[in-house]
Structure 1
């Protein structure tokens, strides 16, 4: 009997039902797209925010207990170094797949035509052997996408370089020394025990907004040979995909030892910048690993605010849809008031009448929710392609969530008019009162 009544209701009131389905479809489409974006936006935004640069710095352990002194201004003979052989260990931690890239650094003061300048040895796009990954490349091109290079990037795919060695020139240093792309200069490094020189050719200029603008930037191996520091680096910048901080990560940041066993496992197995730093410190001997909190904190704040904005828009869409359904159902029920009065006069109970309207609402919610999921999938792909250049992944957990929300929207919109009309007396409805 209920099935027959539902069929007749849809058959004779198809326009009203379609309006309800369209309303739910629009809300469901928006909600499913926003949910898909919210789920995947953390990783996508984290990758986008890598333009801020590396968010982890690895230094020799002595830097944690000695006063902070610029490595350029202090004697290399008094410094501790990190063994370059430790570099593959960066990709040998639990969160190895979250390591976007890294770049070792070695800097010193040298002389050119009697003037002191600073040089920096690093990776640009250098191949390095890491466990279970063939043809792995890393360097400044990967972790420092904000570097603006005019001319050519240095090709450091080889360990040995023919003279002259290719180099990038910081823009500020180029202005002060009046050097330009294509110039060749000879740099001299001299101490009591070492007297070396190296001819370099400027392949391009670089603008970074940092100290690199006042440096001559060369391949790491060339600087190591010049300084007689083969296989040594002063620091390593690491770029890692992380999740925003919460109370647990802040507690661990203050003191890891105060975490109980359950908290420690949860913290260790979550991609917080502090937990990744802790694992890097375990993997590399004789170092201290410090998160660069300005970068890490900005990533977390931006992602949290975007997710909050998405949540507000989702709630607003749900409320608007529920109000639209309530308006449609009120009009629909008023038009069917004589039908309802006749049902009550024939002995129908209040719950039977409300059940009829609830079933109609559920059917509308299912149809609208399914269509909305399809539309949301397409909208999420479009948003991803427009904002990030690649489509967002549509998590299938969104489908049951959206269907449930669509049904809830329909039921909430139906509740008030259905209960209101069901409480009236049959004579009032039959006489149109």
Structure 2
């Protein structure tokens, strides 16, 4: 009997049912797209926010200088260094796949003479990787450097190619924008760099390939391939620091507790912290992997990434809740109108002996069927919308997690039932005589 009544209801009230389906379809499509975006946006946004630069700094345990102080102003003979052979260990941790890239640093003050004017200048040089292949276990074609971890670097001219083991003379280099303005050097100029300490004197020839703009201390430096600076300073295989760019999750209470004192964590808390991609846990693992190193998160970058991602996810949650409320109100309005129009039918059913729960069940079943149809269509539309959002914002489509489908279907049914509850219970409490004689 219930099935026959549902069939007749859909047959004679198809237009109103279609309006309910469309209402749920729109809400379900938006909710499924937002859920898909929310699930995948963490990794996508983390990759996009790598434009802020590296978020972890590895230094010799003996020096432990601040990131902005790596300028080579102190005598090299008094400094501690890391071994360049330790670089592959950056990719030898639990969260190795979260390491976007890294770049070693070696800097010092040297004397520079331009072939154009022969005027000596005291300048700072920075040796680093630009885009260099590194032998890493289980990764045949791994390469890393500043072009990967510092996408905000802008070069007017040509990037330095340091992919080969041996770099021909003159050695290609980039000149910082501020240094270029101060010295008058420009692209194509040839420089002689000389470094002297105690009885050692080193000299190399470099050619400026481009002007570098970063907004940081690099704008006041000559940036040269690491191997050339090591030869100039007689520091073969030595580096001062490593900048690491890693994909991380936002900090929470557990990570802040571990940051204060990881040894104070209970065994279960420690395992959960260690196996979560917090910037603090990745830093801890890097410290375990690299001999004689102390690892510090660059909190200005790490904190900004977490705050941005949290705010975006909060915004998505607010929009999702608003869509659900709007859909529930739309369903309530449609069901109220439909039930009022069918008041005599309901009165007749009660006069013939129908129980209140049977009448309510009829309207709930109609709502659930509309919700399932609208929710299923909304999932398909949401999948397409999520792909479009991913392509428009990140240049690649977002992955659509299948867990979204049952979640959206359940939410669709819930908003349909919530929207139906008030009008269904209100009309079911009326007396048959009042309904049939038009008093209500």
The match for 2:378 among 372, 384, 388 is: 372
Q: Secondary structure, in 3 states, of the residue corresponding to 2:438?
A: coil
Q: Which residue of 1 aligns with 2:116?
A: none
Residue aligned with 1:108, SS: strand
Equivalent residue for 1:134?
140
Shift, 1:115, TM fit? 2.0
- What 5-or-longer segments of structure 1 have no aligned partner? none
In 1, distance between residues paired with 2:180 and 2:167?
A: 23
The aligned residue for residue 291 of structure 1 is 297
Q: Where do 4+ consecutive residues of structure 1 move more than 6 Å? A: none
What TM-score comes out, normalization by structure 1 length? 0.98
* Separation in 1, partners of 2:315, 2:270: 31
Going from structure 1 to structure 2, the CA distance change for 1:27 and 1:391 (only over 3 Å counts) comes to: same
Q: Distance in 1 between matches of 2:152 and 2:73?
A: 26
Deviation (angstroms), 1:412? 0.3
**Residue 332 of structure 2 corresponds to residue 326 of structure 1:** yes
Matches within 5 A, 1:29-428: 29-64=29-64, 71-113=71-113, 114-428=120-434
RMSD of aligned C-alpha atoms?
1.1
Answer yes or no: is the 8 Å Cα contact 2:54–2:301 preserved in 1.
Answer: yes
CA apart distance, 1:190: 1.0
TM-score, normalised via structure 2 length: 0.97
Q: What is the distance in 2 between the residues matched to 1:53 and 1:205?
A: 19
Count, aligned residues: 432
Instruction: Give a deviation string over 1:251-305, Cα, whole Å, max 9, x none.
Output: 0011101110000000000000000000000000100000000000000000000
Q: Which secondary structure does the structure 2 equivalent of 1:373 belong to? A: helix
Matches of 1:220 and 1:430 in 2, distance apart?
92
Contact in 1 for aligned 2:258/2:265 (Cα 8 Å): yes
Q: Distance in 2 between matches of 1:122 and 1:130?
A: 18
Distance in 2, matches of 1:142 and 1:70, equals 20
Distance in 1 separating the partners of 2:353 and 2:401: 48
1:3-36 per-residue CA deviation (whole Å, 9 max, x = no partner) reads 1111111011000000000000000000000000
The equivalent residue for 2:117 is none
The alpha carbon displacement at 1:193 in A equals: 2.2
Residue aligned with 2:62, SS = helix
Instruction: Tell whether the 8 Å contact from 2:63 to 2:79 is kept in structure 1 after alignment.
Output: no
| SS class of match (2:198) | coil
Offset from partner CA, 1:81-111 (integer Å, 9 cap, x none): 1101100010010000000000000001100
Q: Does 1:25 align with 2:25?
A: yes
